[in-house]
Amino acid sequence: MHTRVGVKGVDALLDGKGIPAGHNVLVLGAPGSGKTTFGLQYLVAGAKAGENGVYVSLDEDTERLLESTEPLGLGVEQAVAAKKIAMVDASPIRLLPAKVKLGGTEIGRKEFAVATLINSVTEAIKRVGARRVVIDPISTLVVHYSEDYDRRIALLDLMAATARSKCTTLLVAEMSDPSLERKYQFEEFIVDGVLVLTRVLSGQSFTRVFSVEKMRGIDNDSQPHPYKISEGGIEVFPTEQLF
Ligand SMILES: Nc1ncnc2c1ncn2[C@@H]1O[C@H](COP(=O)(O)OP(=O)(O)OP(=O)(O)O)[C@@H](O)[C@H]1O
Ligand SMILES: [Mg+2]
């Protein structure tokens, strides 16, 4: 069983199949590279195919997000109105105080951040019967943890929760170094697949570049391919080479 991404050109790079169902896939991208657009397109494609979705926003409140992406005409609003996509505003997580009172006991922000997020995600998955989840961006969750070990555990806990719900999940992450010869980020090793959205200087101008860095269980094309963002969203050109 596979989950078709539904962003033009992407499934062709995934052996024509898509993402193995239940996988947790990182969407790693530079600022403004289209990570949010990609996630929304994935959910709208699902809604059209009878696979409902949950979008969890960790940075922006969901109303502002819908306003800013509306001009692209992705069709998110209609799918939300039809209850095929649930929008979860988890942005208050970034404002958590160091200690949180839960019932009679005080717990640290670290424990609270991931537990709260898992609760709201699993609740929303049940509510719409979701098969697809987008969490955008996990970078906002991860900053609550100063130790490498804690960060990994938080992310693994979150991934285990979405996998238990039988959802195929895109975890959006900010790319700390957008060059093609960059150092890997810890998230890339843990997840089942990595999709990269970045840009390269070709001559005097930038070209947007998409690549499937890894996808467990799929004989994927791992070459960089150009993509564009325009009305309707992202389109990757799987037969065009970059170099
Ligand atoms: N109508 C449009 N036509 C072409 N490009 C557009 C259009 N609308 C938005 N864009 C491009 O899409 C980008 C924003 O996409 P998006 O918000 O999905 O990126 P992001 O990677 O999530 O950004 P951030 O790092 O801020 O979260 C803008 O930087 C802009 O270049
Ligand atoms: Mg974004």
User: Secondary structure of the chain in the HEC alphabet?
Assistant: CEECCCCECHHHHCCCCCEECCCEEEEEECCCCCHHHHHHHHHHHHHHCCCCEEEEECCCCHHHHHHHHHHHCCCHHHHHHCCCEEEEECHHHHHCCCEEEECCEEEEHHHHHHHHHHHHHHHHHHHHCCCEEEEECCHHHHCCCCCHHHHHHHHHHHHHHHHHCCCEEEEEEECCCCCCCCCCCHHHHHCCEEEEEEEEEECCEEEEEEEEEEECCCCCCCCCEEEEEECCEEEECCCCCCC
**Ligand 1 atom nearest to 137, measured from its CA:** 27
**Ligand with smallest separation from the Cα of 66:** 1
Q: Stretch 97-103: mean pLDDT, rounded?
A: 62
pLDDT, tens digit, 9 for 90 and up, residues 34-81: 999 999 999 999 999 999 999 999 998 999 999 999 999 999 999 999
* 222 within domain boundaries: yes
pLDDT, tens digit, 9 for 90 and up, residues 110-153: 677 888 899 999 999 999 999 999 999 999 888 888 888 999 99
Best residue for ligand 1 mutational test, from 67, 229, 234 (most atoms within 8 Å of Cβ): 229
Containing structural domain, residue 46: 2-236
For position 93, which CATH number holds? 3.40.50.300
Q: Stretch 224-242: mean pLDDT, rounded?
A: 96
Which of 133-147, 156-170, 188-202 comes out lowest in average pLDDT?
Answer: 133-147
* 24 within domain boundaries: yes
Ligand 2 centroid, distance to 102 Cα (angstroms)? 31
Query: Does the CB atom of residue 181 touch ligand 1 within 6 A?
Result: no
pLDDT at 125: 97
**Ligand with smallest separation from the Cα of 72:** 1
75 Rama sector, left if φ>0, alpha if ψ -120 to 50, beta otherwise? left
pLDDT at 242: 81
pLDDT at 163: 93
Query: Does the CB atom of residue 32 touch ligand 1 within 6 A?
Result: yes
* 242 within domain boundaries: no
Q: How many domains does the chain have?
A: 1
pLDDT at 166 over 90: yes
pLDDT averaged over every residue in the chain: 92
**Cβ atoms of residues 222 and 211 within 8 Å:** yes
Query: Does the CB atom of residue 116 touch ligand 1 within 6 A?
Result: no
pLDDT at 146: 85
Query: Does the CB atom of residue 146 touch ligand 1 within 6 A?
Result: no
CA-closest residue to ligand 1 atom 15: 34
Ligand 2 centroid, distance to 39 Cα (angstroms)? 9
Query: Does the CB atom of residue 33 touch ligand 1 within 6 A?
Result: yes
* 243 within domain boundaries: no
Q: Work out the pLDDT band at 107, boundaries 50, 70, 90.
A: low
Q: Work out the pLDDT band at 177, boundaries 50, 70, 90.
A: confident
pLDDT at 160 over 80: yes
Q: Work out the pLDDT band at 99, boundaries 50, 70, 90.
A: low
Q: Stretch 209-225: mean pLDDT, rounded?
A: 97
pLDDT at 226: 97
* 241 within domain boundaries: no
Is pTM, for the whole model, over 0.75? yes
pLDDT at 158: 95
* 204 within domain boundaries: yes
* 139 within domain boundaries: yes
pLDDT at 103: 64
**Ligand with smallest separation from the Cα of 235:** 1
